[in-house]
Amino acid sequence: MINETKHYQVRVFYEDTDHSGVVYHANYLKYFERAREDYLGFQQLIDMGKDGIGFAVYKAELSYNEGAEFGDVLDIRSSMKLDGDYRAVFHHEAWRENSKKAAVTAEIQLVCLNKNKKLLKISDLDIF
């Protein structure tokens, strides 16, 4: 099951870039993390955290097609699907304005853990 695509805007600040003015590659992971937080709902994540429940990245695959630059506003497009009982797979794309292809794409796999770091069935949670 794939949920709807949601959009999240990110402005590229000077601190996000390397000496050439292009976004440092690891910062896309931060952008995608913010988009997932927005996707799942900030308050819902706070409530889960109070119960000792949280998500951990199991696997991340990124492809870099075009570098975003200082001053760009990126449209982060995110969708999610459940992969079995224990894994949520997010597909993210970072789009520059007026671009014909995504600057960066990613597939981020998450698992859910309880306060003892034991796997929880995501399918049992009322999140998705």
Dump pLDDT digits (tens) for 5-47: 999 999 999 999 999 999 999 999 999 999 999 998 877 788 8
Q: Where are the domains of the chain?
A: 6-124
CA–CA distances in Å: residue 67 to residues 28, 32, 77, 104, 112: 10, 15, 17, 8, 32
Question: In the predicted model, is pLDDT for residue 66 greater than 80?
Answer: yes
Q: What is the set of active-site residues? A: 18
Question: In the predicted model, is pLDDT for residue 128 greater than 70?
Answer: no
Give the residue, 2 or 50, on which the prediction is more confident. 50
Answer for the pair 68, 103: CB distance below 8 angstroms, yes or no: yes
Fold of 6-124: Thiol Ester Dehydrase; Chain A (3.10.129)
